[in-house]
């Protein structure tokens, strides 16, 4: 929940200020859910029939929904003590704990990637999906931490612009038909593997 | 979790809070010293999600030989790389300062806790306005990395937050109010630090100090004054002549009288020197007796809540009239007591003694054998009780028979639930008759019993006894 200025709320125009504050709280949460749903729909279309694609689609929908619920219910407090709670209350608390424990966004990302892989090579839609997933993760972080969206996006603007260029480059590179599997494809695989190792090394604490 | 090392207390006001004061004008906070704390940085959830995206994209690109999936991972890899590059400038230690605007408040009175974080070795500045995006300089770091701080308050039991419970910035002020008296733990404040790219996170939980919430004193402007007052200077008009300011009559001059007191008009009329006489001004001993055994009724308006608020209001009124006020808290046959004394400090001692009423069985003195210091002879005893405990009622009768001047303020504001079954309605009627009989028997003994609802000022039910001195007949 972002800060609400009490003094401003007491001044005239409090209704407009309160509405603006509500929007600043609910806006990122709603945007995260919408982006997640858009990514799922983008990767699922055209829908496959049965099998792993259907499972992945269901998992993706559940994960995005659960992630949205987690953001919506982030401000719901838990009771001070757990004595003599009714069955309904205990079920509700277990549901909240489930929402807050599992990594729903990671599950959603994995499911969406798997859905995307089910389709034949689509470079530009894949690039758009990459942008959508990155935006989904950024907005989710803004919503759960209450960070100032404008300030945060301003900081990330350059890197995001470079990332968008790389997305476009990769999509363009993917459109070049490969003649035969050869040294080029192998080199790409090696580079990709090296990048995974480098990414892990970047994040894992020393 | 760190504990605040020391709190320097500032004196709280004796007067109840001004209801017209705005929540923003809470004044400066008490100085609290806090130690430097070590920050343990770890990858944030955002970093883990980006890693999942990057690793998943690259893995699928390798397995399915689709280079566009490797490009999908590019933005995430870029962000992760930038976060890693700036990680060296993260500070290992920070200074956190916590301040309270008041360590003693009344029920419903707004108060605030100020929290400020600064780099280790820097002087902690005055708390900035809440909501200002704050950046922290790296303590001793060479890269000058910037960090975002976010404060989140988890209020303790009974603490009602008055402002947002999560604030971004280097400094924050959380306002709160406590609706019911008692010693309350304010809760915990969690400080979450993020680096520039939001990929590294440091988290510290601070335990806030406890605060004393006093019962809001009831409004009482008039006092019940005994007809017989001890020989001690005060503000109440006594029936004996003395050096007060209230004129009572004229008498013949005797050697030793002050020349200033000569009434020349009467002397001229009567032909002999006459002097004015004045009433003596005395103070009295007042003992407030609070029955903490029966806490019936809705929380926040229970018999004990009303009793404590009434006792606080009465203590304030009688101390303001320069009377000596003491308190006895009765609990299940035992009692905590505080001998009568004067002054503003005595009010806080009384309220602190009343706050102990929340701790259950009293292991102090036996109520039936209280020492003279607790119950001085000739004292006015004002009892706040729902009259549900038979032992307490017997003690009141015993006190009356020993000659104490007694007034009972009936704070019972709850009844057994109404039910349709004949047995339940009969039991309810019997209970009501029993309560009426108890009050009747006390009135027959000469103990006034006045009902108080906790909302109106105490002056209203006590009005018949404040107009003229209370006469106690043995």
- Give tens-digit pLDDT for A86-103: 888 889 989 999 999 999
Q: Which of residues 82-121 of B touch A (CB under 8 A)?
A: 82-84
CA angle A17, A20, A26 (to 5 degrees): 140
Q: Which of residues 3-62 of B touch A (CB under 8 A)?
A: 22-24, 41-62
| Residue A81 CA: distances (Å) to CA of A78, A89, B157, B176, B446 | 8, 12, 10, 21, 48
Nearest CA in chain A to B77: A199
Among candidate residues B447, B428, B341, the one with its CA nearest the CA of residue B387: B447
What is the least distance, in Å, from the CA of B79 to any CA of chain A?
A: 7
Nearest CA in chain B to A81: B157
Report the alpha-carbon distance of residue B144 to residue B140 in Å, rounded: 9
What is the least distance, in Å, from the CA of B296 to any CA of chain A?
A: 21
- Of A35-49, A105-119, B392-406, which gets the smallest average pLDDT? A35-49
Summarize pLDDT for B214-240 with one digit per residue, the tens. Answer: 999 999 998 998 888 888 888 888 888
Task: Give the number of other Cβ atoms within 10 Å of residue B265's Cβ.
Answer: 10
Residue B279 above 80 pLDDT? Answer: yes
Residues of B in contact with A195 (CB under 8 A): 54, 58, 70, 73, 77
Higher pLDDT, B24 or B224: B224
Higher pLDDT, B470 or A49: B470
Residue B248 above 60 pLDDT? Answer: yes
Report the alpha-carbon distance of residue A178 to residue B65 in Å, rounded: 11
CA angle B52, B57, B59 (to 5 degrees): 95
Chain B touched by A112 (CB under 8 Å): no
Residue A182 above 60 pLDDT? Answer: no
Nearest CA in chain B to A145: B150
For residue B18, the model assigns a pLDDT of 45
Chain A touched by B395 (CB under 8 Å): no
- Of A14-28, B58-72, B203-217, B454-468, which gets the smallest average pLDDT? A14-28
Residues A195 and B75: beta-carbon distance below 8 Å: no
Mapping DSSP to helix (H, G, I), strand (E, B) and coil, where does residue B202 land? strand
**Beta strand segments in B179-266, E:** 182-185, 187-194, 200-207, 210-214, 233-252
For residue B429, the model assigns a pLDDT of 92
| Token code pair at residue B220 | 């009482």
Residues of A in contact with B196 (CB under 8 A): 155
Residue B361 above 70 pLDDT? Answer: no
| Token code pair at residue B446 | 């000469």
What is the least distance, in Å, from the CA of B432 to any CA of chain A?
A: 33
For residue A13, the model assigns a pLDDT of 52
Give the confidence band of A186 by pLDDT, cuts at 50, 70, 90. low
Contact B71 A126 (CB under 8 A): yes
């Amino acid at each position: 929940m972002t800060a609400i200025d009490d003094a401003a709320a007491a001044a005239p125009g409090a209704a407009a200020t309160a509405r603006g504050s509500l929007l600043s709280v609910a806006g990122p949460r709603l945007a995260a859910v919408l982006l997640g749903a858009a990514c799922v729909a983008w990767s699922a279309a055209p829908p496959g029939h049965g099998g792993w694609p259907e499972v992945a689609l269901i998992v993706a929908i559940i994960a995005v929904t659960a992630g949205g619920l987690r953001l919506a219910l982030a401000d719901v407090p838990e009771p001070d003590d757990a004595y003599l709670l009714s069955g309904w209350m205990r079920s509700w608390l277990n549901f909240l704990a489930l929402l807050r424990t599992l990594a729903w966004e990671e599950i959603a990302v994995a499911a969406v990637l798997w859905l995307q892989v089910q389709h034949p090579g689509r470079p530009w839609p894949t690039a758009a999906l990459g942008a959508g997933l990155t935006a989904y993760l950024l907005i989710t972080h803004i919503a759960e931490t209450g960070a100032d969206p404008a300030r945060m996006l301003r900081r990330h603007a350059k890197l995001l612009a470079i990332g968008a260029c790389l997305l476009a480059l990769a999509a363009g590179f993917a459109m070049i038909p490969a003649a035969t599997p050869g040294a080029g494809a192998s080199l790409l695989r090696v580079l990709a593997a090296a990048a995974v190792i480098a990414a892990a090394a970047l994040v894992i604490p020393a | 979790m760190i504990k605040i090392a020391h709190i320097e207390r500032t004196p709280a006001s004796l007067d109840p809070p001004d209801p017209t004061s705005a929540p923003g004008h809470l004044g400066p906070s008490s100085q609290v010293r806090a130690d430097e704390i070590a920050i343990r940085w770890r990858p944030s959830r955002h970093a883990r999600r980006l890693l999942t995206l990057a690793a998943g994209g690259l893995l699928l690109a390798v397995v399915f030989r689709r280079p566009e999936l490797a490009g999908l991972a590019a933005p995430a890899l870029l962000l992760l790389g930038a976060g890693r590059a700036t990680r060296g400038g993260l500070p290992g230690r920070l200074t956190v300062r916590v301040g309270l605007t008041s360590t003693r408040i009344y029920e419903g009175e707004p108060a605030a806790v100020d929290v400020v974080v600064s780099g280790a070795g820097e002087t902690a500045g005055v708390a900035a306005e809440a909501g200002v995006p704050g950046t922290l300089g790296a303590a001793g770091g060479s890269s000058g990395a910037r960090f975002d701080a976010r404060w989140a308050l988890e209020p303790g039991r009974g603490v009602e937050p008055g402002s947002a419970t999560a604030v971004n910035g280097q400094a924050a002020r959380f306002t709160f109010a406590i609706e019911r008296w008692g010693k309350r733990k304010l809760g915990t404040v969690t400080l979450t630090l993020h680096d520039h790219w939001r990929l590294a996170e440091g988290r510290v939980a601070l335990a806030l100090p406890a605060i004393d919430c006093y019962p809001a004193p009831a409004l009482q402007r008039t006092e019940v004054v005994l007809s017989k007052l001890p020989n001690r200077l005060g503000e109440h008009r006594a029936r004996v002549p003395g050096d007060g300011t209230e004129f009572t009559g004229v008498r013949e001059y005797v050697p030793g009288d002050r020349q200033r007191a000569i009434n020349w008009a009467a002397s001229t009329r009567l032909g002999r020197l006459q002097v004015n006489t004045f009433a003596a001004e005395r103070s009295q001993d007042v003992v407030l007796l609070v029955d903490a055994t029966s806490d019936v009724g809705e929380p926040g308006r229970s018999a004990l809540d009303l009793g404590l608020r009434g006792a606080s209001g009465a203590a304030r009124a009688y101390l303001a009239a320069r009377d000596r006020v003491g308190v006895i808290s009765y609990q299940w046959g035992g009692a905590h007591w505080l001998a009568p004394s004067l002054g503003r400090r005595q009010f806080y001692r009384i309220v602190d003694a009343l706050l102990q009423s929340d701790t259950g069985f009293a292991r102090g003195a036996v109520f039936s054998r209280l020492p003279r210091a607790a119950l001085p002879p000739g004292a006015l005893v004002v009892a706040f009780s729902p009259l549900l405990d038979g032992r307490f009622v017997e003690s009141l009768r015993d006190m009356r028979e020993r000659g104490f001047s007694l007034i009972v303020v009936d704070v019972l504001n709850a009844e057994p639930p109404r039910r349709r079954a004949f047995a339940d309605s009969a039991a309810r009627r019997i209970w009501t008759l029993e309560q009426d009989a108890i009050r009747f028997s006390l009135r027959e003994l000469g103990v006034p019993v006045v009902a108080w609802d906790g909302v109106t000022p105490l002056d209203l039910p006590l009005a018949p006894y404040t107009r003229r001195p209370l006469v106690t007949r043995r």
